[in-house]
Chains A and B, each alone.
Chain A
Amino acid sequence: MFRGRAQAMGAVAATALVAATPALSAPRPPGLKPAVDSVEAGLWDLMDKAEREARQKAELNTDAALNAYVRDVICKVATEYCGDVRLYVMDRPFFNATMAPNGYSEVWSGLLLRCEDESELALVLSHEVTHFSENHSIEAHEADKRRRNATMVVAMGIAVVGTVAAAGSANPQSAQSIMDATSSLIDVVYLASISSYFRFSREHETEADIVGLRRMAAAGYSPQAGGTLWRGLIAETTTSDFKRVREQDTRLGIFDSHPLSPLRAEALDAEAAKLPAPTRVAANRHRAAIRPFLAAWLKDDLRRRDFGQTLHTIDRLSKAKEDLGVLNFYRGEALRQRGKAGDLANAALAYQAATEQADAPPAAWRELGEARRRTGDAAGAKAALATYLSRAPEADDAWMVRETLDALSKGD
């Protein structure tokens, strides 16, 4: 699987892995179906079940154009498996992608938001395709059935804990697990079992990185994207509001099969140097595909309440000098919500910058007015709020803004 460190924070506690030695075998043939009663068939059944559940999820993004874009990139890097893969884009603000042996594949919005161009997305998808083509799930399964059983017990354990907690414990700690359980009892099991099946050995990850890089380069994408993407993710992690996330690299490196380390970026750079120059140049295709979702995904990202990481992501997205109305508005939102010393003044500047762009949402004027009011600029506040009302006369919060304007006019 392919996921960033911050995402691992929320996931099931890492289990120490016994590194399996992968036996390099021939890539799977397209259109593969496992033999009835085989070990693989068992794995496929589980994945089919997880896939049925995925189709019901509230986070499923069914936008045709977005799905077509991501699917197109999969088919470019894996022409031979294009017919085997079923893609589900999930609106989840974390960096994650998976591809199960039955072809069930998830790509999360937090990943799409953080890929700077199509090549970076192609890199991630090629990595996943390599796990898929090299049968890593099956190999991992056969290499260590004991570990597999142990992980299933962990997954089942969560279901059991949920039920036990539901039995009416007065302990507030378990009340939290109830709260999680009542909202998504099934989902905890779903996520746990999914993540256990995508826990590959370090050897499998290295193979997926290198073979994946060759695969995307052969499809004409820029192989430099590997090192760029990893370094971007590492840089983002260092901006986290949380010490544990900032220091996760060294701490998780021992246990996690996916260390987000500079070494990994260097290995990708070294391999990229041997690969041909890209023939596909479509810098804006990725941004064009995600543009309709920028606002919603940034709002989701803010709900993680790791403002440092969100601000870093906005900075990266701003480098292309596109969508600056939306991006500056959400920069303002992040600063306003963080509320540290100086943040409100900087939020006002960000909202101001947003309002100078054609794609500024009307709310940018409302928030600019409110930030100016709070920083003592009554005249500036009135101008911005009046602009908000003229741009969004039908807004359902117009009465609230009028109240603020009235109060400002009375000099409150």
Chain B
Amino acid sequence: MRILRPLLAAAAVLALAACETIPKAPAGPYKAGASQVTLGRDWSDVSVLLAGGLKKVKVLSIDGPILNRLYITDGLAVGESLVKSPSKERPTPKLRAGMNSSERMEFVADSIAAMGYQRVETMKPRPAKFGEQQAVRFDITARTEDGLDVQGTALASEAAGKTAFVLFLAPAEHYFQASLPEVEKVMASARPAG
């Protein structure tokens, strides 16, 4: 808890500061462009804080972006990113043509690293569905720069040159497990663009 406490404080600051401008994402259908999921509970739409202006990337949270964040994307085209690049000299991962599942996992891991997380690793890839499309589901471990253990899980699927992602990240201590049942339902409900 030594590490989690200041983060909770920081999250509280964000939550307080955010309440006037952060829209709700109420339980029910939620769209990221043409991708759609069904939320089982109310979330906050923190895209304005975390998507860096990328129109195809939506980010939801329950307790604040440090404690849980759920990325849902529209179908991303070749050359598009999950994370906004802060400058030309600090490029973030871009989708390339002809990527396979293991490269989509690498893309997610490198994108999480570009968000500022450390020691990002992916594991346990398994076949899954994104609506009717073939998808890959996998798990993630990482640490915040301040040394907090983070867990994640992600779903990635490509069809007709567009790749959609659902990605959940939360501290390994309590927060990941607490929201996992909801995240499982959200992933099972995911329908791709088209």
**Segment at the B interface, from A67-75, A169-177, A266-274:** A169-177
On whether the beta carbons of A397 and B13 are closer than 8 Å, the reply is: no
Binding site for A on B (CB under 8 A): 3, 6, 10, 13-14, 17-22, 48-53, 65-66, 83-84, 86, 88-93, 96, 98, 100-102, 110, 113-119, 123-127, 136, 143-148
Which residues of A does B touch, CB under 8 Å? 9-10, 56-60, 91, 163, 166-170, 172-173, 175-176, 178-180, 182-187, 242, 244-245, 303, 305-306, 339, 366, 370, 374, 396-397, 399-400, 404
List, sorted by A's number, 7 A–B pairs whose CB atoms are closer than 8 Å.
A9-B89, A58-B145, A176-B84, A187-B146, A242-B89, A305-B90, A374-B98
Q: Is the CB of A183 within 8 A of B145?
A: yes
Add 13 more A-B contacts to A178-B65, A245-B89, A305-B93 (CB < 8 A).
A58-B144, A175-B48, A175-B52, A175-B53, A179-B50, A179-B115, A184-B116, A187-B146, A305-B92, A339-B96, A399-B126, A400-B101, A400-B125
Q: Does B17 lie within 8 Å of A167, measured CB to CB?
A: yes
Check A183 against B117 for contact (C-beta < 8 Å). Answer: yes
**How many Å from the CB of B20 to the closest CB on chain A?**
6
Are A303 and B113 touching (Cβ within 8 A)?
yes
Residues in chain B near residue A370, CB distance under 8 A:
100
Contact A396 B125 (CB under 8 A): yes
Residues on the A chain within 8 Å of B83, using CB: 179
CA distance A405 to B149 in the complex (A): 36
A59 to B142, CA, bound (A): 11
Option from B91, B127, B146 in Cβ contact (under 8 Å) with A58: B146
Interface of chain B, main secondary structure: loop
A-B pair number, CB within 8 angstroms? 122
**Given A168-B21, A186-B6, A399-B127, A57-B145 contact (CB < 8 Å):** yes
CB distance from A55 to the nearest CB of B (A): 9
Residue on B nearest A186 in the bound complex, by CB: B146
Q: Flag if A183 contacts B100 (CB, 8 Å).
A: no
In the complex the two chains form, is B90's CB within 8 Å of A183's CB? Answer: no
**A91 contacts which chain B residues (CB < 8 A)?**
118-119
Nearest chain-A residue to B20 (Cβ)? Answer: A168
Q: Decide yes or no: A184 and B17 within 8 Å by CB, A59-B118, A400-B102, A404-B100 being known contacts.
A: no
List 3 tightest A-B contacts by C-beta distance, closest first: A172-B53, A183-B116, A58-B143
Contact residues in B for A303 (Cβ distance below 8 Å): 110, 113-114
**CA of A185 to CA of B146, assembled, Å:** 9
Across the interface, which residues of A come within 8 angstroms of B123, CB to CB?
396
Of chain A, the residue at the smallest CB distance from B10 is A185
User: In whole angstroms, what is the CA distance A303 to B112 when docked?
Assistant: 10
The CA-CA distance from A185 to B100 in the complex, in Å, is: 35
Residues of B within 8 A of A399 (CB): 125-127
Chain B residues near A170: list those with CB within 8 A. Answer: 21, 48
In the complex where A186-B146, A339-B96, A400-B101 touch, is A166 in contact with B14 (Cβ < 8 A)? yes
Q: How far is the CB of A307 from chain B (nearest CB, A)?
A: 10
CB of A182 within 8 A of CB of B66, answer yes
A178-B146 contact given A305-B93, A374-B98, A399-B127, CB 8 Å threshold? no
A169 to B126, CA, bound (A): 39
B134: nearest chain-A partner, CB-CB: A403
Q: Which of B22, B88, B124, B148 is in CB contact (< 8 Å) with A242?
A: B88
Nearest CB in chain B to that of A173: its residue: B53
Among A173, A178, A244, the residue within 8 A (CB) of B88 is A244
| Cβ contact within 8 Å between B145 and A59 | yes
In-complex Cβ contact of A184 among B89, B119, B144 (8 A): B144
Q: Select from chain B the residue with minimum beta-carbon distance to A172.
A: B53
Cβ–Cβ contact B145 & A176, under 8 A: no
Residue in A173, A182, A245, A366 whose CB lies within 8 Å of B50: A182
Residue of A59, A305, A374, A404 with most chain B CB atoms under a 10 A cut-off: A305
Q: Tell me if B49 and A184 are in contact (CB < 8 A).
A: no
A183, B21: Cα distance in complex, Å: 20
Residues of A within 8 A of B20 (CB): 168
On chain A, the residues within 8 Å of B125 by CB distance are: 396-397, 399-400
Residue numbers in A under 8 Å from B89 (CB-CB): 9-10, 242, 244-245, 306
Q: Is the CB of B147 within 8 A of A58?
A: yes
- Bound-state CA distance A178–B101 (Å) is 30
In angstroms, Cα B100 to Cα A170, docked, is 36
| CA distance in complex: A10, B21 (Å) | 30
Bound CA–CA A57/B3 (angstroms): 10
Tell me the bound Cα distance from A183 to B147 in angstroms: 11
The residues of A that contact B113 with a CB separation of less than 8 Å are 303
Residue from B136, B143, B146 whose CB has the most chain A CB atoms within 10 Å: B146
CA–CA, A186 to B3, complex, Å? 12
Partner of A56, one of B50, B110, B136, B147: B147
Assess the B13–A163 pair: CB atoms within 8 A: yes
Given A179-B116, A339-B96, A396 contacting B145 (CB threshold 8 A): no
Residues of B within 8 Å of A404, CB to CB, are 100
CB distance from A366 to the nearest CB of B (A): 8
Tell me if B10 and A182 are in contact (CB < 8 A).
Answer: yes
Partner of B116, one of A60, A163, A180, A366: A180
Most buried by A among B13, B48, B145: B145
Cβ–Cβ < 8 Å partners of A183 in chain B: 66, 115-117, 144-145
- Contact in complex: B3, A56 (CB < 8 Å): yes
Q: Which of A163, A180, A400, A404 has the most CB of B within 10 A?
A: A400
A108 to B116, CA, bound (A): 17
A176 and B124 form a contact (CB under 8 A): no
The answer to whether A187 and B50 have CB atoms under 8 Å apart is no
- CB of A297 to closest CB in B, whole Å: 12
